[in-house]
Chain A
Amino acid sequence: MKFGVVVFPGSNCDYDTFHVLQNVMGQETVFLWHKDHDLQQVDCVVLPGGFSYGDYLRSGAIARFSPIMAEVKKFAEAGGLVLGICNGFQILLEAGLLPGAMLRNKNLKFLCQHVYIRVENQKTAFTNAARKGQVLRIPIAHFDGNYYAEPELLAELEKNKQIVFRYCDEKGRVTEEANVNGSVNNIAGIINRQGNVLGMMPHPERASEKILGSDDGRIIFQSMINYLEKKAGSGQKKAIKSTRPKVSPLPPLIGTF
């Protein structure tokens, strides 16, 4: 399948995301420059982490107006698969492709650490390779990861099972202590009503190779591949296969600002 990683000025997780998709998961991957209007016929768009536009005004508030977002919006409305990681999640929220908003972390600290998240909904395009309640160890790195939804929206998200990941402890218990940034109901990742757009604050691309401390993040990418291949009718659900990652040279830094 073909994946596109969008690059905004200030994105800094684009290369890691590209590397995981291309070299670890073995998928054809391209960069999508924020000023382009061409999604290059990808099957999935990934908005990577970073500090697009320096987080000026609000995280993701300016990136959401980038030319490529018009195409991403059309792609998502037509049912295309979209994953937003960290800043990508913030951009999806500001663009209205996901409901709710991000606030500054409750304890006013930039959090850079491994956390545990629990899979709340394993019936999504992003979690079908996981078990319900499975605990994943994935790093976070954010200052504005405190997810906020008004009470009515929150009730709706719970009712519709749109909450896909919650912060938990290593035993999978959803506790206040595990909620490092103060997000409502320990929400770490949500999906839209249609089920094709997911945003998550933790970085699965930083947890896809055991050498980095955890490869629990691969489950998410594998689920997406499973979903896309099933949709294309070309494969069955696969278990995670352990491939030796091959490192191919990455394309040169693109674009002018």
Chain B
Amino acid sequence: MKVRILVSLKPSVLDPQGQTVRNALHTLGYKAVRDVRQGKVFEIELENIDRTEAEKIIPEIADKVLANPIIEKFTWEIIEA
């Protein structure tokens, strides 16, 4: 089973890296880019686990380790059963 988790900074937190990317895109002429937020992608391969158990442990893993809940939020999805 393959799971993808996206971690990004909460909207209330300053993201200078995202801003730097946005500025670079503007320099390249992509004026339509209004804002950029940079985050992280985790792809986790699970084995010997059913869907219900996976749906229980993935948010736990994300909340405990992959993201710092004070400054980051996350979303996740099973991409391959």
Q: Across the interface, do B16 and A106 meet the contact criterion of CB distance under 8 Å?
A: yes
**Please, how many angstroms separate the alpha-carbon atoms of A51 and B38 in the complex?**
22
**Please, how many angstroms separate the alpha-carbon atoms of A65 and B9 in the complex?**
22
Point out the residue from B16, B17, B20, B68 that lies within 8 Å of A94, measured CB to CB: B68
Among the 9-residue stretches A27-35, A97-105, A132-140, A228-236, the one with 4 or more Cβ atoms under 8 Å from chain B is A97-105
- Interface residues in B9-43 by Cβ distance below 8 A to A read 9, 12-14, 16-17, 20
A4 interfacial contact with B, CB 8 Å: no
A127 to chain B, nearest CB (A): 26
Q: List the count of A-B residue pairs having beta carbons below 8 Å apart.
A: 30
Q: Across the interface, do B71 and A101 meet the contact criterion of CB distance under 8 Å?
A: yes
A95 to chain B, nearest CB (A): 11
Point out the residue from B9, B16, B68 that lies within 8 Å of A61, measured CB to CB: B68
**Please, how many angstroms separate the alpha-carbon atoms of A107 and B19 in the complex?**
11
Tally B residues with Cβ within 8 Å of A.
Answer: 12
B66 interfacial contact with A, CB 8 Å: yes
Q: Across the interface, do B20 and A108 meet the contact criterion of CB distance under 8 Å?
A: yes
Point out the residue from B20, B66, B71 that lies within 8 Å of A103, measured CB to CB: B71
B65 interfacial contact with A, CB 8 Å: yes
The chain B residue sitting closest to A182, CB to CB, is: B14
Point out the residue from A57, A58, A100, A107 that lies within 8 Å of B16, measured CB to CB: A107
Point out the residue from A58, A101, A104, A148 that lies within 8 Å of B17, measured CB to CB: A104
B49 interfacial contact with A, CB 8 Å: no
B81 interfacial contact with A, CB 8 Å: no
The chain B residue sitting closest to A64, CB to CB, is: B65
Q: Across the interface, do A101 and B16 meet the contact criterion of CB distance under 8 Å?
A: no
**Please, how many angstroms separate the alpha-carbon atoms of A25 and B17 in the complex?**
41
Point out the residue from B14, B65, B66, B71 that lies within 8 Å of A106, measured CB to CB: B14
A150 interfacial contact with B, CB 8 Å: yes
B57 interfacial contact with A, CB 8 Å: no
Chain A window 234-250, contacts with chain B (Cβ cutoff 8 Å), 1 for yes, 0 for no: 00000000000000000
Q: Given A106-B16, A107-B16, A182-B14, does the pair A101, B66 have CB atoms closer than 8 Å?
A: no
A64 to chain B, nearest CB (A): 10
The chain A residue sitting closest to B9, CB to CB, is: A103
Q: Across the interface, do B70 and A108 meet the contact criterion of CB distance under 8 Å?
A: no
- Interface residues in A86-135 by Cβ distance below 8 A to B read 94, 100-101, 103-104, 106-108
Point out the residue from A57, A104, A108 that lies within 8 Å of B65, measured CB to CB: A57
Q: Given A61-B65, A182-B14, does the pair A148, B70 have CB atoms closer than 8 Å?
A: yes
- Interface residues in B37-79 by Cβ distance below 8 A to A read 65-66, 68, 70-71
Q: Across the interface, do A100 and B14 meet the contact criterion of CB distance under 8 Å?
A: no
Q: Across the interface, do A148 and B13 meet the contact criterion of CB distance under 8 Å?
A: yes
- Besides A101-B71, A104-B17, 9 other A-B contacts (C-beta < 8 A): A101-B68, A103-B14, A106-B14, A106-B16, A107-B16, A108-B17, A108-B20, A146-B14, A148-B71
11 pairs of residues in contact across A and B, judged by CB atoms under 8 Å: A57-B66, A101-B70, A101-B71, A103-B9, A103-B14, A106-B14, A107-B16, A108-B17, A148-B13, A148-B71, A182-B14
Interface residues of B (CB under 8 A from A): 9, 12-14, 16-17, 20, 65-66, 68, 70-71
